[in-house]
Chain A
Amino acid sequence: MDLKDLYRDVILDHNRKPRNFGALTGADGQADGHNPLCGDRLTVWVRLDGERVADIRFEGKGCAISTASASLMTEAVKGKDKAAIKALYEQVHTLLTHQDATADASLGKLAALAGVSEFPARVKCATLCWHTLNAALDRSADAVTTE
């Protein structure tokens, strides 16, 4: 268990300066995510162009893993279509839950989340934003939870 592997510079940077942070006006879909155990809360907004996510923003309060994961996610999915996002999430999920998983080059900066797999209690911090994105894409207004 190596702390430096969890709190990599990319994670700390995105926690301190989250990208695409703040409400998105003219959104087509929006969803709230909540992790009652640690109190993480976030909202994800998406603007769609057909099947493609033309713009995405998020806002919320959470731990470094949850904030950085959401920030990295917004950068990674912007411009991608729903099918590509689903495939990307599956790759991220494998990375988060399998200690022997190797980060594929296609993951880009999301590979910085690899250290989370050593800390099983923190996996749900990193996945909250993805569940919330899925709900937003379904244009569901219901809050989702990872508990």
Chain B
Amino acid sequence: MNAVSAVAAPFDAERVRADFPILAQQVNGHPLVYLDSAASGQRPLAVLRAVERYETHHHSNVHRGVHTLSQAATEAFEGARERARRFLNARSTREIVFVRGATEGINLVAQSFARPRFGPGDEILITGLEHHANIVPWQMVCEQSGCTLKVAPIDRRGEVDIGRLLELLTARTRLVAVAHVSNALGTIVPVRRIIEAAHSSGALVLVDGAQAVPHSAVDVRELGCDFYAFSGHKLYGPTGIGVLYGREELLEEMPPWQGGGDMIRTVSFEKSTYNELPWKFEAGTPNISGAVGLAAAMDYLESLGLGAVAAHEQRLLALATAELERMPGIEIIGTAAHKAAVLSFTLHGCHPHDLGTILDSEGVAIRTGHHCAMPVMTFFDIPATARASFGCYNTEADVRALVAALGKAREVFG
């Protein structure tokens, strides 16, 4: 993943903006400036309409009935799976498991892959910039199985210390679980290098791609990762739907992690047999409309061009970084050489929580807090940061509104 080198194609952000009806509103008397896409992206009309079309014309339960609607719903749901397979360039739809989001995908791997086969002496290696969703599931596995969690540290720029990571990667390491892009700092992690090193040391790799998929094309075969998890709502799709990619031979060996309808082949009180991939991991009625919306979001994003979107976001990031660097009292947290469109910062004398309230009163929505990455905050010895993140619909005017609102905060707390 190298968003910086993406080709600078003409990109009409104003036209893109018009695709997102939620953005055309006033918040606290000001036009909404939405700079919180790293928490959740907004949905374009194409997604909203696809979900509406499904709900008004095709909805029924999947994989069950012989009636027309059930077949239409099944086709829509399995069509979305094929869409996700193409999005990631996976070999087969058997490798695409629909989950609630990246969090559930990671938990699935933790409980179904790691827990049954890891034990005392085995190690799971993560990094210092992980989101809680890529920390806590592994801590739970360690408690359950007796294996040990190791953490590769980050440096002051917010980059993973690759030298230390390679030292921590030993014959005991069974799995490396690493973010593709840091949600708190924006750091793009060199996952390909980590995957190569892990594989030559005999460890498998899970990539938490929640923050990466909106900003660059991801090819799981080119990356060579064993598992890749992401959420639909960060990709301009609905909430409550996400994808876990897993290499087929690994998923094949893993036991189901939830039991119920759809994941079985036969059930008797003595013994049940399980469905084949990927349905073995999808117990219960799935989020069908969510999958339909996610597929529409992938169509939409690819119609804009992931490279063009990334280049546009990089221009905004560079502009915002330059503007904030000029403002007295602002400290940018996370200065990695390669960053996705995330800008974390603090303002001297003004707690991020106060900053968030002041910016909101100007219509500017940013995230404030620990960003579900408390260890990152501890590393920088700060309680929280303010975080502006950019999506395909943001414009230079949004950056100017952010700068003006920060000026207002400096007035109040000057």
A residues adjacent to B (C-beta < 8 A)? 1, 3, 6-7, 12, 36-41, 61-65, 119, 121-122, 125
Contacts and interface: CB of A to CB of B under 8 A. Distances in A.
Contacts of B357: 3, 6, 119, 121-122
A63 B353 contact: yes
Given A38-B368, A39-B384, A41-B383, A3 B412 contact: yes
Closest 9 CB pairs of A and B: A39-B383, A63-B351, A63-B353, A38-B353, A39-B384, A3-B361, A64-B354, A63-B354, A7-B412
B28 interface: yes
A38 B383 contact: yes
Contacts of A40: 353, 383
A64 B350 CA distance: 8
A65 B354 contact: yes
25 contacts: A1-B361, A3-B358, A6-B357, A7-B354, A7-B413, A12-B412, A12-B413, A37-B369, A38-B351, A38-B352, A38-B368, A38-B369, A38-B383, A38-B384, A39-B369, A39-B383, A40-B353, A61-B383, A63-B351, A64-B350, A119-B357, A121-B357, A122-B353, A122-B357, A125-B353
A6 to B, nearest CB: 7
A42 to B, nearest CB: 11
Contacts, number: 51
Nearest to B358: A3
B197 interface: no
A41 B374 CA distance: 14
Given A7-B412, A38-B383, A38-B384, A64 B369 contact: no
Interface string B364-394: 0000111000100100001110000000000
Nearest to B351: A63
Contacts of A1: 28, 361
Residue of B351, B377, B383 with most partner-chain A CB within 10 A: B351
A38 to B, nearest CB: 4
B413 A64 contact: yes
Nearest to A125: B353
A127 to B, nearest CB: 14
Nearest to A122: B357
Contacts of B351: 38, 62-64
Contacts of A36: 370, 374
Contacts of B384: 38-39
A63 B358 CA distance: 12
A11 B412 CA distance: 11
Nearest to A4: B412
Residue of A37, A38, A40, A122 with most partner-chain B CB within 10 A: A38
Contacts of A65: 353-354
A134 B383 CA distance: 24
Contacts of B382: 39
Contacts of A61: 383
B30 to A, nearest CB: 11
B370 A39 contact: yes
A126 to B, nearest CB: 12
B41 to A, nearest CB: 22
Nearest to B408: A3
Contacts of B377: 39
Given A41-B383, A122-B353, 19 more contacts: A1-B361, A3-B358, A3-B412, A6-B357, A7-B354, A7-B413, A12-B412, A36-B374, A37-B370, A38-B368, A39-B369, A39-B370, A39-B377, A39-B383, A64-B350, A64-B354, A64-B413, A65-B354, A121-B357
Contacts of B354: 7, 63-65
A18 to B, nearest CB: 13
Contacts of A41: 383
Contacts of A62: 351, 383
B357 to A, nearest CB: 6
Contacts of B350: 64
A7 B350 CA distance: 12
A122 B360 CA distance: 13
B353 to A, nearest CB: 4
A1 to B, nearest CB: 6
Contacts of A12: 412-413
A122 B368 CA distance: 13
Contacts of A38: 351-353, 368-369, 383-384
A37 B369 CA distance: 6
Interface in B158-181: none
Contacts of B412: 3, 7, 12
A12 B28 CA distance: 22
Contacts of B413: 7, 12, 64
Contacts of A119: 357
Contacts of B370: 36-37, 39
A121 B354 CA distance: 11
Nearest to B28: A1
Contacts of B369: 37-39
